[in-house]
A and B are shown apart, each in its own frame.
Chain A
Amino acid sequence: MKTGAKLLVESLQREGVETIFGYPGGAVLPIYDELYDAPIRHILVRHEQAAAHAADGYARASGRVGVCLATSGPGACNLVTGIATAYMDSVPLVAITGQVPTFMLGNDAFQESDITGITMPVTKHSYLVKRAADLGQVVKDAFYIAGTGRQGPVLVDIPKDVMTAQIDIELPIGRAKLRGYQPTYEGHALQIEKAVALIGEAERPLLYVGGGVIASGASEEVLRLAELMLIPVATTLMGLGAVPCDHPLNLGMIGMHGTEAANYAVTECDLLIAVGVRFDDRVTGKIDAFAPNARIIHIDIDPAEIGKNKPVDVPIVGDAGKVLQSIIRRLARTEGREMWLARVGHWKEKQTVKDGEDGLSPAYIIGEMSDLLGDRGIVVSEVGQNQMWAAQHYCFRRPRTWISSGGLGTMGYGFPAAIGAHFARPDETVVDVAGDGSFQMNIQELGTVVQYNVPVKVVVLNNMYLGMVRQWQELFYDRRYSYTELPAVDFVGIARAYGVDGIRVEEKEDVRPALEAAFATAGPFVLDFRIEREANVFPMVPAGAAINEMIGRRQR
């Protein structure tokens, strides 16, 4: 005989779970009691939202399913933002929540919330486990659902009496059995033939690759296709690192804050090969003006993404890597795309480097950081200007080295996600690029990094504003900075109070030494860069404008 809680922990072990991020409470005490001697590491965060983000960061850095644990009611509710973040970016996550005992369900009992109901729109699937005997199968199914097909978060809500029930049961053996869930991995042969023909005929092809390529591990295939057929590559925010930043065919990021080369190329291409992307509005701008003259091949594991925002000529449902392999196998090396490559190369060359002339520029700081870290860094970002500066100026060379909340744009994501990334890849230097606004949204996690000596380096690009909102106010609201100014915060002082070392930097010449000091420190470190206050992220495509209608420089 064993308890439900014991069965749960055994099930997690069977799924290969090594690390859980969580926060205890009344309704999950039986699970915590089992974790006390289980060979699973539990990281105690300071806020449940951070548990979800940390599990998400863990998943993105490792490619494995991240796991977070919270109690019922407020604990579960605090996970919601983290679950929604993972949902929007298709991150495999299993969120386990405690629930009031089954006989109290629906009675508005103390710390009860209908968390399956609350999270239904932001989970791939969810379970309310009403019998301890079901726990093993539910955990198996939950991990299978989270980690396959288009990945995503799965919630497992467990009433307290289910955790304490005594049962005599072995764990289910074998695979999850779900008759309604059969993801397609291999592309349809006929569609692949059509794609091959289009790629062969195209004069101005462009690869548009996103997070699906990272999730599928298809970077190598993308690069092979690009090199074989001489196709330039534009990556989305989520696709950064899929192709090395310094590869000659890489045009950089596409979209609202994308490069001129990527945005012009998509406007002029005659064939768009979209791989693992979802034609998000932050990428496409005005949808009718996005790739207006191109035929479109769209490869995605989620059929619902194909044709959702933009009609597609050749839809291919399947795993990006597998589909690209099938396509590459049928292609012969091409020549004669010199004109197109020269045109694209011309845009790339004349791209202005937006280094700040006045004061401490974010571009300079990120550039120095990129230079110092070379190939050994994982960059996690918060959300806002800091995120875009990191995306624009850091040189990402490998997949899973860029971790950022793309779809939901969750401020406060970066710091806890960086903690998760560290536990997934302890050998890498993990940097959280933050803004002063975002950092303050989960700054309490300084307690967690101290407790577990997590050597995350926090690079605060501090402009004493909610920078991106202020930028929009500057450009589109006549510089009326309504409630976006933040008072100066002594981040180094706060860090020290928690027991974390830090430096404040105000001069350009101090940037590199400060970064070097941070990277040379074995533990966590906070760098407070007082950047120029009204630096903007450029180029920028105003919301709703065509993607090639970029604002390039400061409008004053």
Chain B
Amino acid sequence: MKFHTLHVLVENRAGVLSRIAGLFSRRGFNIESLAVGTCEEAGMSRMTIVVLGDDAQIEQVKKQLNKLIDVIKVSDITEQSTVARELALIKVAAEPGETRAEVMQVANIFRAQIIDVGAKTVILEVTGDSEKIDALETLLRQYGIKEFVRTGKIALLRGQKAIRSMK
């Protein structure tokens, strides 16, 4: 069992997300993360789905996804050279003074932005791969995380290679 990253090109229509989520739930596949948005071609969306499973399960996930009429293309990009990012927003308890300075230092090291400062809190914005965000979260926990939100992973193949609807 390991995490696989699937890149799914779909028609940008009402109900598509529901079809895909429904497929996962009723077949007992577990979605780790799912990110979706419009893409360079009108009428299409790109999805990045992270799913845990062994080879046979992932094969079945891909085949079942391919059966959906609104799915144009499914690629497992786990073994390919990709760039992948997640975005997280973290609200940390940081009283003015020493604590806040420390939090800002940590933010700096992780190339996170401070995007809001309150009386007793700051909000950090960080992008990166899952491990980086996990690491930052762990570090900030000692100060007290008030709220934490992260997007699913998004990914693209490196270089010239591209996943497109047309050959």
Q: How far is the CB of B14 from chain A (nearest CB, A)?
A: 7
B138: CB under 8 A from chain A? no
A304 CA to B10 CA in the complex, in Å?
A: 19
CB-CB under 8 A from B73, the residues of chain A are: 180
Q: Is B160 an interface residue (CB 8 A)?
A: no
B15 within 8 Å of A (CB atoms): yes
A116 and chain B: residue at smallest CB distance: B15
The reply to whether B22 and A121 form a contact with Cβ atoms under 8 Å apart is yes
B82 proximal to A (CB < 8 A): no
**Interface membership of chain B positions 59-71, coded 1 if the CB is closer than 8 angstroms to chain A and 0 otherwise:** 1100110111111
Report the separation of the CA atoms of residues A116 and B15 in the bound assembly, to the nearest whole angstrom: 9
Write out the residue numbers on chain B whose beta carbons fall within 8 Å of the beta carbon of A178.
69
* CB-based contact B66/A303 at 8 Å: yes
The closest CB in chain A to the CB of B56 belongs to A307
- A-B contacts counted at CB < 8 A amount to 43
Q: Are A180 and B69 in contact (CB under 8 A)?
A: yes
Instruction: Report whether A128 and B15 are in contact in the complex, using a CB–CB cutoff of 8 Å.
Output: yes
Q: A332 vs B69: C-alpha distance in the bound complex, in angstroms?
A: 40
A interface size (C-beta, 8 A): 19
Q: Which of B10, B19, B69 contacts A181 (CB 8 A)?
A: B69
- Which of chain A's residues have a CB closer than 8 A to the CB of B22? 120-121
| Residues 32 to 90 of chain B near chain A (Cβ within 8 Å) | 56, 59-60, 63-64, 66-73
| Interface positions of B from 1 to 39, Cβ below 8 Å from A | 10-11, 14-15, 18-19, 22, 26
Question: Which one of B60, B68, B165 contacts A179 once the chains associate, using CB atoms below 8 Å?
Answer: B165
Inter-subunit contact A307/B59 (CB<8 Å): yes
CA distance A240 to B35 in the complex (A): 46
Residues of A within 8 A of B60 (CB): 304, 307-308
Interface residues in A103-120 by Cβ distance below 8 A to B read 116-117, 120
Q: Report how far A180 CA is from B165 CA in the complex, Å.
A: 9
Kindly state the separation between the CA atoms of A124 and B14 in the bound complex, as whole angstroms: 16
A149 and chain B: residue at smallest CB distance: B67
Task: Please state if A120 and B19 are interface contacts (CB–CB under 8 Å).
Answer: yes
Q: Are B18 and A179 in contact (CB under 8 A)?
A: no
Check A125 against B69 for contact (C-beta < 8 Å).
yes
What residue in chain B is nearest A121 (Cβ atoms)?
B26
Q: Are A120 and B18 interface neighbours, CB within 8 A?
A: yes
User: In the bound complex, how far is the Cα of B60 from the Cα of A179, in angstroms?
Assistant: 21
Most chain B beta-carbon neighbours within 10 Å: one of A116, A145, A181, A302: A181
Name the residue on A nearest B67 (C-beta).
A304
CB proximity of A519 to chain B, nearest CB, Å? 43
CB distance from A185 to the nearest CB of B (A): 16
B61 closest partner in A (C-beta) = A304
B14 touches A117 (CB 8 A): no
Contact partner of B11 among A116, A124, A126, A180, CB < 8 A? Answer: A180
Q: Are B69 and A124 in contact (CB under 8 A)?
A: yes
**A192 vs B70: C-alpha distance in the bound complex, in angstroms?**
30
Query: Which B residues are CB-close (under 8 A) to A303?
Result: 63, 66
| A304 and B63 form a contact (CB under 8 A) | yes
User: Contacts of B14 on A, CB cut-off 8 Å?
Assistant: 128
Closest to B11 in A: A180
Q: Please give, as numbers and ranges, the residues of chain B lying within 8 Å of A181 by CB-CB distance.
A: 69
Residues in A whose Cβ lies below 8 Å from that of B18: 117, 120
Chain B nearest CB from A534 CB (Å) reads 38
Chain A residues closer than 8 Å to B71, beta-carbon distance: 180
The answer to whether B69 and A145 have CB atoms under 8 Å apart is yes
10 closest cross-chain pairs (CB), A and B: A304-B63, A180-B72, A125-B69, A181-B69, A121-B26, A180-B71, A303-B63, A120-B22, A304-B64, A179-B72
Sampled A-B contacts (21; CB under 8 Å): A116-B15, A117-B18, A120-B15, A120-B19, A121-B22, A121-B26, A125-B69, A128-B14, A128-B15, A150-B67, A178-B69, A179-B72, A180-B10, A180-B11, A180-B68, A180-B70, A302-B67, A303-B63, A304-B63, A304-B64, A307-B56
Residues of chain B having any CB pair with chain A under 8 Å: 10-11, 14-15, 18-19, 22, 26, 56, 59-60, 63-64, 66-73, 165
Q: A126-B15, A302-B67, A307-B59 are in contact. List 10 more A-B contacts (CB 8 A).
A: A120-B15, A121-B26, A128-B14, A128-B15, A179-B165, A180-B10, A180-B69, A180-B70, A180-B73, A304-B64
